[in-house]
Amino acid sequence: MNLSNQSKSIIVIIVVLLTVSFYQSKKFEVSIIQIENPILRSLSSFYISKIENIKSFLGLKSFFNKEEYFWQYLKELPKSLVYQFETINHVSPISFLTINTPYNVLIVGDSFIAESFGPILEKELLSFKDTYVFRKGIYSTGFSRPDYFNWDEEIKKLILEKRPNIAFVMFGANDGQDQTNLDKKVIHYGEKEWNLEYGRRVERFLKILEDNQVFVFWIGNPIARDKYYADKMANLNSVYQGVCQDKLNCLYFDVWDTLATSNHEYSAYLPDEDGQKRLARASDGIHTTAFGSQIMLKEIIAMVVKKINFQREK
Amino acid sequence: MLAISYLFYATWDIRFLALIFLVSIFNYLGTFFIDWTINKSYRKFWLTLIIGVDVLVLVFFKYFNFFRESADILLNKIGFSSNALLLHIILPIGLSFYILRAISYSVDVFNKKIPLENFLDLAIYISFFPQLLSGPILRAKDFFIQLKDGGAKTIENLEENFTLILIGLFKKIVIASYLTVNIVDDVFTVPQNHSQLVVLLAIYAFAIVIYCDFSGYSDMAIGIAGLMGFKSPNNFASPYLAVDFQDFWRRWHITLSNWLRDYIYIPLGGNRKGEARTYLNLMATMFISGLWHGTGIQFVVWSIFHGLALIISRFKAEIMNQGVTLEKILSWFITLNAVCFLWIFFRAQNLQNAFDIIKQLFNWQSLREPINVYIIILIFLSFLLFIFEQEIKEILISIQKRLSLFSMIIFLTIIVILIIKLGPNIVPPFIYFKF
């Protein structure tokens, strides 16, 4: 058959796109929550869920999971040579009273830690005496999708590598999505069981830190502009707060109202110390600008220094 | 074609469509009046109006947020409420590029280099989707000839276009994204918390990131346009092999350099009005290039240094003997390192951040910090890619030429999957989208 270049290019593009999206559906699924256009988000979600159904029907899920683990292993190979397994002496219970210098601080979380609030917190903590800071923020991650990025495994590695005694944790922006529990049952966001499953994951994460003598400052999410996100963030905050208050090694910071107006509403602009209104939120209505991050930082640091004896470098 | 381009643009934000439509209609009407009248003064008036409004649109969307806070404070000081200015303007993606296309079309119509086009063709030119977001800036005369020739009916070099898309994907997903996520972002945001060696690596890594990110996008845009039957000019020609800054700008973002040369440097007098004026014109052109790129003062600093380096290159070319190998190698080494160093200003969040990075680079008592082996391997491989890019392209093209359609699909699918697998989980947006 003699096809024109035009027909050939159309065939190649369609087949390659379909095959790649089939093969890589898991990777695309994680990014769906970030699509702002609701029609596109629904269409993509529908398309990817159909692919996942086909994979299940054909019994290919286990193959794709193994294949993904292989690539993750390969990509982390040089790092894994560096790590050496060490047993950590368990001395519990841990509380802020047991933390001594040097302060090895770990800051972990999602995009808030990668680029929005994280760098500002890191700079501030570096200005304290005997304080070492390591920040790891990974976009589009959280606790809902350990198949995509497993924070339990990551925190274990970071603990071995950095030996922290304090951690600042901030998650949630990507977590308002379906979860699959240990029985392989998919729990849709909004179902009663969802918060229980999510809470279990947060608790497991905190337990790893607790077992390794790390005190945690858990930062909640600030109010968001769009109701779609705001409702999810508020719900996730309630889970973090609930789990945290049952733990000796965790202190929860509620920053919801820190970036809200006096009427507890969202505003992109907030007053500074002189009463001048300045842009506090990024254009997505979720993240913070440098000014917004400074507002959060001020409140958080004020509470932290009440608990930990941080001293400024002269 | 227009429907596809507008649909593509609307997926970013439907509000952007209104602006691109208004820019198209305004430039169409303006050039219609330029073409309609023979009175020189009227023609000049219309051209000035078109350029003025186009530049105003660009400046408004690009600089509004930058100046808003300063204006806010100033208005408060003189007793006015600033609430009217509490408006957050989102920069429509690709605006900087389609405004340049619109201006070049209008100037070319004014100079009678091209005839007046109908509105539909002009709207397609301004919004042509493969090049809408970050170029390359295809000139109106080259575009309209191809559009009238039927575009998609005449696809040539299928394999070359697929190869460009593959190489672009590789540069963006494997190299640029990995280095951004694993070293550049961390070091450039808080340089104080990194060792001298890691800061140095991050500076070289960013030089690789910006090349792979932008040239990767250009490769893909040229490849996709090629699959629609449109030939686009090359935007990069091994820029890190440049032996001086003049050479660098002949190889880096070529379509922008040519645009600046034809619509700013030459109208300012180019090199026709004496040495001093030539240097001034060079500085002015680079300064405008800096303002076009970004809103912070760090972009102004970056452009001034590049302007000065261009003057030095020009001066050096006039007084020094060319063609000595050792001198060329030394010149290449100095140029490469100077370009990498100046990227600090381009990547920094503000001037203070740029100085923090430089300070840390010379902080001999900085921390000891482990280095990820992958990063060193990737930096090394990237430099090899810069040298052998053309050869790699030719190998990929020749492989595809020997394959049947079915085998070609399998080959391309495997490579795309491998590229995605080798890249990090997160692919940051293209750097030039924010310009």
**Amino acid letter for position B68:** R
**Structure confidence by residue, pLDDT tens digits, B68-106:** 666 666 666 666 655 545 556 677 888 989 999 999 999
Confidence of residue B313 (pLDDT cuts 50, 70, 90): confident
CB contact under 8 A, A13 and B227: yes
pLDDT at A214 over 60: yes
Q: How far is CA B192 from the centre of its chain?
A: 30
CB contact under 8 A, A6 and B65: no
Q: What pLDDT score was predicted for residue A96?
A: 61
Task: Answer yes or no: do B198 and B135 share one domain.
Answer: no
Confidence of residue B156 (pLDDT cuts 50, 70, 90): confident
Q: Which one is predicted more confidently, A52 or A134?
A: A134
| Residue B249, domain member (yes or no) | yes
Contacts for B356 with CB less than 8 Å, ≥ 6 apart = B191, B192
CB contact under 8 A, B155 and A40: no
Question: Can you tell me whether residue B413 is helix, strand or coil?
Answer: helix
- Pick from B305, B329, B361: which residue ends a domain? B361
- Interval B34-61 mean pLDDT: 92
Q: Which one is predicted more confidently, B145 or A220?
A: A220
* Closest chain A residue to the Cα of B425, Cα to Cα: A27
What number of other Cβ atoms are within 10 A of residue B310's Cβ? 20
Prior bond of B233 cis (ω within 30°)? no
Q: Percentage of residues in chain B with pLDDT exceeding 70?
A: 90
Q: Which residues pair with B36 in a beta bridge?
A: none
Q: List chain B residues with CB under 8 Å of A27.
A: 420, 425
- Interval A272-285 mean pLDDT: 83
Q: What pLDDT score was predicted for residue A260?
A: 92
Q: Is B328:B241 a contact under the CB 8 Å cutoff? A: no
- Interval A113-141 mean pLDDT: 90
Four-CA torsion B225, B228, B229, B235, nearest 10 degrees: 0
- Pick from B115, B148, B181: which residue ends a domain? B148
Q: What pLDDT score was predicted for residue B319?
A: 66
Q: Which of A6, A79, A277 sits opposite B155 (nearest CB)?
A: A6
Task: Answer yes or no: do B349 and B258 share one domain.
Answer: yes
Question: Which among A228, A131, A139, A219 is positioned nearest to A189, based on CA atoms?
Answer: A228
Q: How many domains does chain B have?
A: 2
Q: Which one is predicted more confidently, A182 or B198?
A: B198
Q: How far apart are CA A186 and CA A41, in angstroms?
A: 19
Q: Percentage of residues in chain A with pLDDT exceeding 90?
A: 41
Confidence of residue A307 (pLDDT cuts 50, 70, 90): confident
pLDDT at A207 over 90: yes
Q: What pLDDT score was predicted for residue B191?
A: 92
Q: How far apart are CA B409 and CA B420, in angstroms?
A: 17
Is some CB atom of chain B closer than 8 A to the CB atom of A50? no
pLDDT at B435 over 60: yes
Q: What pLDDT score was predicted for residue B124?
A: 93
Q: Which of B12, B81, B88, B164 would you mutate first to test chain A, the one with the most A CBs within 10 A? A: B88
Task: Answer yes or no: do B289 and B351 share one domain.
Answer: yes
- Interval A155-160 mean pLDDT: 93
CB contact under 8 A, A122 and B190: yes
Task: Answer yes or no: do B333 and B274 share one domain.
Answer: yes
Q: Which one is predicted more confidently, A220 or A148?
A: A220
Is some CB atom of chain A closer than 8 A to the CB atom of B185? yes
- The per-residue b/e assignment along B320-335, b for 16 or more CB within 10 angstroms, e otherwise, is eeeeeeeeeeebbeeb
Q: Percentage of residues in chain B with pLDDT exceeding 90?
A: 55
Three-state SS across chain A? Answer: CCCCHHHHHHHHHHHHHHHHHHHCHHHHHHHHHHCCCHHHHHHHHHHHHHHHHHHHHCCCHHHHHHHHHHHHHHHHHHHHHHCCCCCCCCCCCCCHHHCCCCEEEEEEECHHHHHHCHHHHHHHHHCECCEEEEEEECCCCCCCCCCCCCHHHHHHHHHHHHCCCEEEEECCCCCCCCEECCCCCEECCCCHHHHHHHHHHHHHHHHHHHHCCCEEEEECCCCCCCHHHHHHHHHHHHHHHHHHHCCCCEEEECCCCCCECCCCCECCEEECCCCCEEECECCCCCCECHHHHHHHHHHHHHHHHHHCCCCECC
Reply yes or no on whether B306 is catalytic: no
Instruction: State how far residue B227 is from chain A, nearest Cα, in angstroms.
Output: 7
| Residue B420, domain member (yes or no) | no
Q: What pLDDT score was predicted for residue A33?
A: 67
Task: Answer yes or no: do B356 and B212 share one domain.
Answer: yes
Question: Which among B248, B255, B254, B420 is positioned nearest to B334, based on CA atoms?
Answer: B248
Q: List chain B residues with CB under 8 Å of A63.
A: none
Is some CB atom of chain B closer than 8 A to the CB atom of A40? yes
- Which residue in the block uniquely carries the two structure tokens 């469509």? B17
* Closest chain A residue to the Cα of B374, Cα to Cα: A78
The domain limits of chain A are 5-65, 92-307
Q: Is A210:A92 a contact under the CB 8 Å cutoff? A: yes
**Structure confidence by residue, pLDDT tens digits, A76-85:** 665 544 434 3
Q: What pLDDT score was predicted for residue A82?
A: 41
Task: Answer yes or no: do B191 and B237 share one domain.
Answer: yes
CB contact under 8 A, B193 and A126: yes
Q: List chain A residues with CB under 8 Å of B68.
A: 279
Cα angle value B312/B313/B314 (rounded, 5°): 90
CB contact under 8 A, B426 and A140: yes
**Structure confidence by residue, pLDDT tens digits, B170-223:** 999 999 999 998 899 989 999 988 889 999 999 999 999 999 999 999 999 999
Q: What pLDDT score was predicted for residue A81?
A: 41
In order, the DSSP letters of B70-129 are HHHHHHHHTT---GGG---PPPPTTHHHHHHHHHHHHHHHHTTSSPPPPHHHHHHHHH-G
Q: What pLDDT score was predicted for residue B211?
A: 95
Confidence of residue A226 (pLDDT cuts 50, 70, 90): confident
Please name the helix (run of DSSP H) or strand (run of DSSP E) that holds residue B302, with its range, or none: helix B297-319
- Interval B308-319 mean pLDDT: 82
Contacts for B254 with CB less than 8 Å, ≥ 6 apart = B136, B233, B234, B235, B236, B237
| Residue B408, domain member (yes or no) | no
pLDDT at A86 over 70: no
Task: Answer yes or no: do B184 and B220 share one domain.
Answer: yes
Q: What pLDDT score was predicted for residue A250?
A: 92
Q: List chain A residues with CB under 8 Å of B426.
A: 138-140
Q: Which one is predicted more confidently, A237 or A149?
A: A237
Domain span at residue B302 reads 158-361
- The per-residue b/e assignment along A57-69, b for 16 or more CB within 10 angstroms, e otherwise, is eeeeeeebeeebe
CB contact under 8 A, A148 and B372: no
Q: What pLDDT score was predicted for residue A299?
A: 93
Is some CB atom of chain B closer than 8 A to the CB atom of A47? no
* Closest chain A residue to the Cα of B90, Cα to Cα: A283
Instruction: State how far residue B189 is from chain A, nearest Cα, in angstroms.
Output: 6
**Looking at B88, B194, B253, B293, which residue is catalytic?**
B293
**Amino acid letter for position B42:** Y
Q: Which of A13, A123, A283 sits opposite B192 (nearest CB)?
A: A123
User: How many Cβ contacts (< 8 angstroms) between chains A and B?
Assistant: 98
pLDDT at B64 over 80: no
Confidence of residue B10 (pLDDT cuts 50, 70, 90): confident
- Which residue in the block uniquely carries the two structure tokens 């596109």? A40
**Structure confidence by residue, pLDDT tens digits, B113-147:** 999 999 999 999 999 888 888 879 989 988 998 88
CA distances from B166 to A19, B71, B159, B312, B393 (A): 16, 47, 10, 38, 9
Task: Answer yes or no: do B97 and B173 share one domain.
Answer: no
| Residue B379, domain member (yes or no) | no
**Structure confidence by residue, pLDDT tens digits, B250-303:** 999 999 999 999 999 999 998 888 888 999 999 999 999 999 888 788 899 999
| Residue B174, domain member (yes or no) | yes
For the record, the structure tokens of A200 come out as 């279990």
- Pick from B97, B122, B148: which residue ends a domain? B148
Q: How far apart are CA B162 and CA B146, in angstroms?
A: 20
| Residue B128, domain member (yes or no) | yes
For the record, the structure tokens of A53 come out as 């159904």
| Residue B205, domain member (yes or no) | yes
CB contact under 8 A, A24 and B420: yes
Q: What pLDDT score was predicted for residue B88?
A: 60
CB contact under 8 A, B193 and A133: yes
Give whichever of A191-195, B199-203, B226-230 has the largest mean pLDDT.
B199-203
CB contact under 8 A, B420 and A148: no
Fold of A92-307: Rossmann fold (3.40.50)
Q: What pLDDT score was predicted for residue A192?
A: 86
* Closest chain B residue to the Cα of A110, Cα to Cα: B426
What value does the mean pLDDT of chain B take? 87
Instruction: State how far residue B162 is from chain A, nearest Cα, in angstroms.
Output: 9
Is some CB atom of chain B closer than 8 A to the CB atom of A129? no
Q: Which one is predicted more confidently, A28 or A297?
A: A297
Q: Which one is predicted more confidently, A66 or B253?
A: B253
Q: Is A239:A142 a contact under the CB 8 Å cutoff? A: no
Q: Is B166:B419 a contact under the CB 8 Å cutoff? A: yes
Q: Is B103:B125 a contact under the CB 8 Å cutoff? A: no
pLDDT at B242 over 80: yes
Q: What pLDDT score was predicted for residue B305?
A: 93
| Residue B69, domain member (yes or no) | yes
Task: Answer yes or no: do B89 and B187 share one domain.
Answer: no
Is some CB atom of chain B closer than 8 A to the CB atom of A43? no
